[in-house]
Amino acid sequence: MQVNAAGDQRDQSPYTIEARILAATWWHESNKNKYDMQLIRTKFSERFDGDPPRGDRIKEWEEKLFTTGSINDKPIHGRPKERTSLEVMQSVEQSPSVSIRRRAVELDMTKSTMHNVLKKDLKLKPFRPIAVQYLSPEDKENRVVQCQAILDAFPDKHSQNKTFFSDECSVYGDGNSRTIVWAKENPHYYEQIKQYPPQIMVWCAMNANCLIGPFICEGRITADSYLNMLENQFLPELRRRRITNSIFQQDGAPAHTAIRTRDFLNNHFPNRWIGKHGPVPWPPRSPDLTTPDNALWGILKKRVIHCQPENQQQLITVVKTILNEIGEDKGLLQRMSNRTWRRIALTVEVAGDQVDPHDI
């Protein structure tokens, strides 16, 4: 086999040039009598000690030799397969997010070839990026300092299990298209999406032992509505369950950082609450570190979509039912709490970076 400087393979035949010329000549001299082909193949096998070529191969050689004057195979343009796969793999390692179209242009190959190399030869699969909160270098420094402060303030399992992580979330009765249809031809599959699905704002607080809520919030959450919920719903529920000396966490939303909200927390959770301007600080832009955000809301939304509530009242009923079921699952609550505290410790280890890529 001959290979030129550009990598084009010009002669792929396993038979020598002498063998091909002789076989082609024998077929030509027989006046292409089909009854002589078996004799030619027998002579070839005796002369060159091996399996003879097929009859159609000998015919191709004869036509090529007596038409072009050359017995070599026609040039096969393009890169060898091994070289192509290596180039694509190197390109992916250097720039993993480049599109198939752009990568094909950069490596001078067709889009379909690039797709086949990525999928069939290299066994690679496409993955969509997960949207996360942007963190500046200053944010990362604050996350390290403040996560370490939280771990120092509540270093033991007992205090960690007593910590209520809280958050609010918009829950919809329907979502965007979630179905992928595989078919050889377009099945013209349609999925109906409600234009204005029912929506509610839900607030919960949870620790390793219980889930308190959901409390349904009417409209936008303000300092007044948030304080009213804490005073008239959250605290009475703690008393009803005889929960004492608990620790409370909240993020830095404006309603949470109002002076009257902080005064309320200082009065009812003295030195036992975590948040902006609190006795124990909470790192900014860190929803990945709260139990509702990194675990609860994902479970809730998947189950709500499965139920497909038709109106707001049905949505409220479905949300309450689902959260009550989660609150009764003590093993799940403990696992979600462990996940949160593991992530807080991991934030310190990874210098304040997003923990999702590290928490596998």
**Helices (H), ranges, the chain:** 17-29, 37-48, 55-68, 81-94, 100-106, 111-116, 137-153, 157-161, 223-229, 235-240, 254-257, 259-268, 291, 297-307, 312-328, 330-349
- Strands in 273-274's sheet, in edge-to-edge order, are 211-217, 199-206, 163-172, 247-249, 273-274
Whether residue 282 is found in the same domain as residue 144: yes
Structure tokens at 144: 């390290």
pTM (predicted TM-score): 0.64
* Domain carrying residue 86: 81-121
Alpha-carbon torsion 148, 154, 156, 159, what sign? negative
Whether residue 223 is found in the same domain as residue 112: no
Whether 195 shows a pLDDT value over 70: the answer reads: no
Whether 299 shows a pLDDT value over 50: the answer reads: yes
- Is 150:248 a contact under the CB 8 Å cutoff? no
pLDDT, residue 156, reads: 94
* Residue 20 covered by a domain: yes
- Percent of the chain at pLDDT above 70? 86
Q: What are phi and psi of 145, to 5 degrees?
A: -65, -45
Whether residue 114 is found in the same domain as residue 192: no
Amino acid type, 148: Q
CA distance 273 to 165: 10
Residues forming a β-bridge with 200: 171
Whether residue 111 is found in the same domain as residue 158: no
**109 or 229, which is more confident?**
229
Hunting for tokens 């918009």 — which residue is that?
170
Whether 263 shows a pLDDT value over 50: the answer reads: yes
CA distance 289 to 228: 26
CA distance 150 to 227: 24
- Domain boundary, last residue among 62, 92, 121: 121
Q: Each residue of 56-102: pLDDT tens digit?
A: 889 988 888 888 877 776 555 555 666 688 888 888 888 888 888 88
The residue-averaged pLDDT of 300-318 equals 89
Kind and range of the H or E run holding 248: strand 247-249
Q: What is the CA radius of gyration of the chain?
A: 35
Number of domains in the chain: 3
* Residue 359 covered by a domain: no
- Percent of the chain at pLDDT above 90? 47
Q: Which of 227, 221, 243 is nearest to 162 (CA)?
A: 243
* Residue 49 covered by a domain: yes
* Residue 296 covered by a domain: yes
* Residue 356 covered by a domain: no
Amino acid type, 96: P
Alpha-carbon torsion 113, 114, 116, 120, what sign? positive
Whether residue 141 is found in the same domain as residue 197: yes
The residue-averaged pLDDT of 143-162 equals 95
Residues forming a β-bridge with 217: 201
